[in-house]
Every structure is written in C-alpha cells, then in structure tokens.
Structure 1
Amino acid sequence: MSLLSPGAHRAAGLADDTALVAAMLAVEAAWPHALAAAGALDAADALALDRAVRGWPVDLDRLRAGTEAAGNPVAPLVGALRDAAPDDRLARLIHRGLTSQDVLDTALVLIARNTLNRVRDDLGATAHALAALAGRQRDTVMAGRTLTQYAVPVTFGLKAARWLSGVLDARDDVEHVLRALPVQCGGAAGTLALVAETGADPVAAAQAFADRLGLVRPGLPWHTTRTPVTRIGAALASVCAMTGVIASDVAVLSRPEIAEVREGAVPGRGGSSTMPHKRNPVLAVLVRGAAHQAPQLEAQLRLAAGLTVDERPDGAWHSEWPALRRLLELTATAASQTAELTAGMEVDAEAMTARARAASGLLLAERGTPGDPADYLGASGAFVDTVLARLRRAGADHD
C-alpha cells in the first residue's frame, strides 16, 4: 500500500498479489473437478490435483520473476505447480485443457466478486445512515442552491434522500453485476478442443467449472468480448460517482462561511501540519479524489475492450489488469470511507434554518411574495418518503 493512496488499507487483501494468487489457485483447483464431472478425468485424480494445487507453498518472488518472461502470471504459476506435483502423470494433468487467459480472467472475476460484495455491504451501511439523516432532518429547512447561487428553499432531509437515492442506484448496479459474473473457459483459442479430444462434452465441463466456482457460464468464451470487464468497471465507476456527490456536498457545506455540515470528529484526523485551528473534511476530500480518478480507469477498460484482436488479444488484455485492480481498490476504499463519513456526519440544523430565513427574500423570489421559507417546500417531504419507502422495499427484497 502506497503513502500516496491514503486509506488504501481499507482495501487490503482484496486485489493485491496475494489475493490474485489465491484466486488463480482456486481456479486451477476447480478445473480437475470440472473435468471429472464431464467424464474427462477420474474423480480420484481430480481430488489429488486439487490437493496438490492448494498445497503449493506460494512463492511470490518466483512468480514475479517469471511473469515478464511469460507475459502473464499464469504460466510461471502452472510451471511451479507442475514442479511441485506428486508425480509426472499428475503434473501433466495440471491446467490441461485451459489457457492462461481462462485462469487469469476467472481469477480476476473472483477478486471482483469479493470486492463488489464488500462494496455492496458498505453501500448498505451508507444507505441506512442516510435514511436516518433523511428521517431526522425531513423538515429541516435550508437554502437550496443551483449553479452555486441561492435558488429556492429545500430541506436537508431532501438532500440526504437524494444522496440515498443515488446510493441505492449504485448498489443496484453492483448487485446486477454480481448476479452475472461469468467464468472464462475456452482453452487455447476459445474452442475447448483439448477437452473434446478426451471424448468428454466440453460444454458440460465449462458448466461444471462455473458451478464449482459459483459463477455463471456464458454462452461462449469471452476472450475478446470484454463486456464482463466493462460491466464491472461501469458498476465501480458508478459507486465512485455517487460517493463523490456526497463528498462534494459535504466539502462545500463544511466551509467555515457555511458551516452547516461537518465530518464527525476523530482524534488525529483532519489536522494541519502548520495551522492548529484546522479540521479538514479529510474523508470527503479523499472520496472526491476517488471520484476524479475512477472515470479514467473505467475508460481504460473500455479502450482495451475496443482494441482486442484475433481469438485472444495482444496488449489490450494486458492493459486491463492494472486499471481494473486500481479501480477495485479505489472503489472499495471510497465506499468504506463514505460509510464512515455518513455515519458520523454532524448537521447544524439551526445554522441551516437561520441562513434560509435570512435569505428568504432571495429564496422566495420565484414565488414573488415574502414569507417563511418553510411554507415553500413543495413536495420535499413526499420525495423523502418515496426514497425511504424504496429502501424499505429493498430491505424486504433482501430478507
């Protein structure tokens, strides 16, 4: 974890090299069972291969040294597994019928699943924190602002409800992707020819492979159809965008000349190296930073998707890996930070209402007559109730 990625410890173990190797080993261990289910391998051999793969003492230094020579980390992993196999016969069966892209793509899908599950949980925590805010502040009048200027009165409950609506949208995107995460299984050029040579049904083997890993079997291999990766990227970027909206509003509203919202106080957080009075909205700043980075990372995945060639891509595939890893780690970090930010948010309702009343001449200019800003809120309360009802329905659907 880098000192230039503040908060990255929140994503520790999700997408690093150790997690990647563990995922690749899970894939290699699942494959013999898939072959056995399709009749291409004896069940006892499948179990022996599973044990050999899972029992390999991970040597990251060896894998890192061999990755450049092979162009990907799977080839040196397979070589190490074969070297450590109990006998030559079993060594020859390790990885047989797969290709490097099958293993790495599927391993990255497994990593994405773990990360997306974490993100979904943090979005759920954020949603409940925002629902509590929206309920408590349902009728707290504040100045509405459009294009940075006073507009008409709104409520902080409505603002929190809008945040909540976006969070629920992002969670829906994550759940949609989670339900359809696919296995990659095509062999050297997407035909599973070597599996067919054994007399087994290669489609049955691919299905058993997916079942073993808890993934979906798509209609055919997606070596050069990178929709699964771009869908993951889009969901992650959606999360960063919505958490960025919350963070941006908090950063603005916590300015001392506004001072309507503050991050929760945490000892040692938000201080300055030279200015003792500072209490910087650090979580909001970091989440905003993630929102700035995520679109470019998603764009890299889409660029790679559009530059794949032949039956398996050269270079475009390789350019996905660092972008996807960074996007996974960035989103997991931002989602965790946002959950903490919303849970500890401090709201100065009196300051909000006082400002709205002081600016009532401007806030009520649309109506054309003076009065109390609280009397010009339209359907604000109904909109809050609509979003809270959506969260309740979503909770019932999950139960």
Structure 2
Amino acid sequence: MASSMIDSELFKDQYGTEEMRHIFSDQAQIQKWLDTWAALAEAEAAEGIIPKAAAKEIAEKANYQNINMSEVREGFKKTAHPLMPQIRSFAKSLSPEAGGYVHWGATTQDITDTGLVLQLKDAQQLIVKQLQELLTSSLKQAKKYRTLIMAGRTHGQPAVPITLGYKIAIWANEFGNHLDRIKDGQKRYLVGELGGAAGTLASLGDKGLAVQKTFCDLLGLETPTITWHVSRDGFAEFASIISMIAGTIARVANEIINLQRTEIGEIEEGFTMGKVGSSTMPQKRNPMKCENIVSLTRIIQANATLGFSSMMQEHERDMTFWQSDWSYLPQICINLSTAMKMLNDVLNQMIVHKDNIKNNLFETKGLIVSERVMLDLGRYLGRQNAHEVIYENAMKAFEEKKPLLDLLLADKRVTADVDEPTLREMLNPEKYSGASAELVDRVLSKYHAFLK
C-alpha cells in the first residue's frame, strides 16, 4: 500500500488528476528551480553583474534533463540541504565560468519560494479552467430547470416552493465568486521572491531592486513590495481560496447526496449499467462520486489549515515551515482538481426525477404554501392574528395528516374573508415560487459569456 493515496497506482485517480500531479511532480519542481536560476542570471546580466555569456549558457542549459537525480538524492543525505545538491549538479553541466555564476547573490529560499509560486501559478491555471467548466455546467442546468417547481427546504424540512434552476444558480454564482477571488488574490500570492540572505538584497549592491524587478518580469510574476521570506500570508490566502472552493464543492455534492435519498429521490448523480453501489446489496444505487467528493474536501480543508500555522515565523528567515509548504500546497491542489473533475461529471450526468419532485411538492398537502395563506389572510385579520389561525390549522393538518385546505374551509375565521376558489389558488404550490426564475436569469446574465 502506498503511503499516500495520491501516489497509489490503485487509487491515485480517485485522489488527484494526472494534470495536477504532473504540476507538482519532482521533475516539475526542479524545472521551476532551474527556470528561476535562468531568470536570475538573465536579470543579473542585464545589470552587468554577471557576464552575458554566462547567463546565456545558464538559460540554455536550465533543463531537468541536465540534473543527475541519483547524485542529487545522495547529496541530500550528505548535506541535509534542500538546494545545494541541485546547484552542484546543474553547475557540472555548465562550463566552469558559467557554473560559477549559478545562484549568484540569491539565498536558497529565493529559489525554492519562487519555484513553488511558479508551480502554484500552473496549478491555478488548471483550477481556473476547471472552475469555469463547473460554472458552465451549472449554468446550463440552471437554465434547463429554470421553471421546474420543487420543494425548497430549510432545517431539513419543506419550507416554500422554489425552482430547481434557482437552487443550481446559487451554485453557479458561488463558482463565479471563486473566480473573482482568484483574480483578485493572485496579485498577492503569485509574487516572485528575491531578497538574499536576510531579504535586503545586499549581495547585489545598488542593482538589487532592478535585478529583482527584471527577475520577476521574466518569470511572469508580481514584484514584491518588500521581501516576504517570513511573510507567508500569500500562501495562507491561496490555501484559503482552495479551501473555500472545496467548501462549495462539498455543499453541492452533499446536497445531491441528500436529494438522492430514497425518501426524497429528486436528483441522482448519474447511473450507467456496471456502476456498483454495494458489494453485498445489489439493489443499491449509491451516490458514490458525491461521497468521494465530500471525503476529498474534508482532506483539503484539514490540510489547508497548515497555511495559517506557517505564518508564525522567526526573525528574518526560518526553515521550519518549508517542508510543510511543499507538502500541503501540492496536496490541496491535487485533491481539489479531482474533486472538481468528479463534480463536473456529476453535474453533466445527473438525473432529475421530475415525477418525484412534483409528488414531494404536493405531498405536503398544502402546508408548503401556508406562508402565502397567512400573508393574504393577514390583510383582513392582521399579520399576527393570521399567523395564529394558520398555525393552529397547519399543526392540526400535520398531526392528523389531512389536507390544509379541508381544515381551512372548516374554519369560519378564514372563510369569512376568503372563498374556496381563492383558497385553492393560494394553496397551489406551483403558483408560489416568487422570483425564482428571475433570479436564475440574473445569474445567467451575469455569467452569459460562459454559456457561449
């Protein structure tokens, strides 16, 4: 058994996607460090700090294939240092002159932090793509079921009618909010790091700030306002956004789990012959994907909390948090990617049982629209008196399992002002969905570009 499900040949696709695993592979991590060294050399050459020929050679040879991984692994054991073995291995692939300028003026954390940010940048691009897919899928379903009346539920009980499209449009809007959060947040966490030993850039003399700016520009990252060696709020914010996306995904998946319950049976995550719900109960059609999604989101949110504890640092640099950054950030991104993929499949394949939706709506025997009757009767009796009248009849209807209409027709306090045809109209749940459809339209309009 693998020590991590992400690395398990058996389970890895249940815990991560191939695309996100590749972004956080050893090869990708080392390549990002090499890209960082190449950008550093080019920026320093532009300011006359190192020879241009050396920078050119460093950039040309900055390829993972030029790293001897066996040598690097042995180097880790001997040096207990996360970067020196790579520096030595990379330098060996260069001429003596160029090799001497690798990592010039930088400190280890400049390279490892910037390399990790470059990986997060790639991860974010995939996350944004998958969020857009979730947004598009939910918008399509919201539009399709814009006017399908169903029971809205609060505290697990029927409340008032809504439309299925309205329910799904809320999911869509939340996915859109996350896209906005990423767009706004990336200027704070997709930031390059180059500060030298204690962050002051002293090793680069009076050219430090210019080198830093060019270095970040070459890598397509924001230039930091000030060194962030011990300021880990950017990673904490990134982890927070990942955790929030996971929260939305969990809520959607859990909602489908509940609506798929036999007692409700309104939505099913999707079924094809061959899908097995139980090894011992052949009849089971369990919401396996949604359950998997919820499990993954719990792992994500638990790991994301490491982003907050890593904010506690000492002095100008501290190594105690590096390994946790390299652990939790890849894990939450990898787990999130597969949860998003699974949910998108669910949204595109879900089965809507319209008959059950209608049956559940009318099964309340009018109780689901007692609010409407109470408000209309309130015009004659006053709101509080009307509430008491409807409350008494509603509780009796619930206890005796009688239609609310029958009890209201027998109550002279009601029939004194409201006739039977009017009561029948008021108790029709399909006539009391408020602005559900119009609210769906607002979401569709806001994100219309994702439906094209």
Q: State the TM-score, normalizing by the size of structure 1.
A: 0.91
Question: What is the number of equivalent residue pairs in this alignment?
Answer: 391
Which of residues 77, 81, 85 is equivalent to 2:86?
Answer: 77
Q: CA 1:381 to 1:344, structure 2 compared with 1: closer, same or farther past 3 Å?
A: same
CA drift of 1:384 comes to 0.8
Which of residues 230, 238, 242 is equivalent to 1:224?
Answer: 230
Partner secondary structure for residue 366 of structure 1: helix
Deviates more, 1:93-102 or 1:178-187: 178-187
Q: Deviations over 1:109-161 (max 9, x none)?
A: 11111111111111111111111111110111111111111111111011000
C-alpha separation in 2, matches of 1:167 and 1:315: 35
CA drift of 1:349 comes to 2.2
CA drift of 1:284 comes to 1.0
Contact kept in structure 1, 2:66 and 2:90, CA below 8 Å: no
Partner secondary structure for residue 150 of structure 1: strand
Q: Deviations over 1:170-226 (max 9, x none)?
A: 121222233551001111110122211xxx511110111111111010112100011
Equivalent position of 2:219 in the other structure: 213
Q: Unmatched 5+ residue regions in structure 2?
A: 1-6, 374-422
Equivalent position of 2:271 in the other structure: 265
Contact kept in structure 2, 1:247 and 1:287, CA below 8 Å: yes
Which of residues 281, 284, 288 is equivalent to 2:290?
Answer: 284
Contact kept in structure 1, 2:142 and 2:165, CA below 8 Å: yes
Contact kept in structure 2, 1:66 and 1:73, CA below 8 Å: no
C-alpha separation in 1, matches of 2:207 and 2:273: 61
Q: Unmatched 5+ residue regions in structure 1?
A: none
Which of residues 121, 136, 146 is equivalent to 1:138?
Answer: 146
CA drift of 1:235 comes to 1.4
C-alpha separation in 2, matches of 1:73 and 1:316: 13
Equivalent position of 1:274 in the other structure: 280
Equivalent position of 1:381 in the other structure: 437
Q: CA 1:389 to 1:86, structure 2 compared with 1: closer, same or farther past 3 Å?
A: same
Q: One-letter code of the match for 2:49?
A: A
Matched, 1:201 2:210: no
Which of residues 173, 191, 199 is equivalent to 2:200?
Answer: 191
CA drift of 1:57 comes to 3.0
Q: State the TM-score, normalizing by the size of structure 2.
A: 0.81
Which of residues 154, 158, 164 is equivalent to 1:156?
Answer: 164
Matched, 1:22 2:78: no
Q: CA 1:270 to 1:107, structure 2 compared with 1: closer, same or farther past 3 Å?
A: farther
Equivalent position of 1:317 in the other structure: 322
CA drift of 1:268 comes to 4.5
Equivalent position of 2:367 in the other structure: 362
Q: Deviations over 1:70-114 (max 9, x none)?
A: 555322211211233222x22221111111111111111111111
Which of 1 and 2 has greater Rg? 2
C-alpha separation in 2, matches of 1:280 and 1:171: 31
C-alpha separation in 1, matches of 2:319 and 2:15: 34
Equivalent position of 2:180 in the other structure: 172
Partner secondary structure for residue 12 of structure 1: helix
Q: One-letter code of the match for 2:295?
A: G
Q: CA 1:366 to 1:65, structure 2 compared with 1: closer, same or farther past 3 Å?
A: farther
Contact kept in structure 2, 1:82 and 1:91, CA below 8 Å: yes
Q: CA 1:376 to 1:76, structure 2 compared with 1: closer, same or farther past 3 Å?
A: same
C-alpha separation in 2, matches of 1:268 and 1:313: 53
Contact kept in structure 2, 1:138 and 1:158, CA below 8 Å: yes
C-alpha separation in 2, matches of 1:48 and 1:33: 10
Equivalent position of 1:348 in the other structure: 353
Q: One-letter code of the match for 1:317?
A: W
Q: CA 1:170 to 1:71, structure 2 compared with 1: closer, same or farther past 3 Å?
A: farther
Contact kept in structure 1, 2:27 and 2:64, CA below 8 Å: no
Matched, 1:13 2:22: yes
Which of residues 71, 87, 99 is equivalent to 1:91?
Answer: 99
C-alpha separation in 1, matches of 2:273 and 2:91: 52
Q: One-letter code of the match for 1:329?
A: I
Deviates more, 1:379-388 or 1:48-57: 48-57
Contact kept in structure 2, 1:360 and 1:373, CA below 8 Å: no
Equivalent position of 2:335 in the other structure: 330
C-alpha separation in 1, matches of 2:81 and 2:11: 27
Contact kept in structure 2, 1:23 and 1:107, CA below 8 Å: yes
Equivalent position of 2:52 in the other structure: 43
Q: Does 1 or 2 have the higher relative contact order (CA < 8 Å, sep 6+)? A: 1
Contact kept in structure 2, 1:29 and 1:54, CA below 8 Å: no
C-alpha separation in 2, matches of 1:282 and 1:16: 28
Equivalent position of 1:125 in the other structure: 133
C-alpha separation in 2, matches of 1:61 and 1:328: 28
Q: One-letter code of the match for 1:351?
A: N
C-alpha separation in 2, matches of 1:322 and 1:48: 32
Contact kept in structure 1, 2:150 and 2:358, CA below 8 Å: yes
Equivalent position of 2:414 in the other structure: none
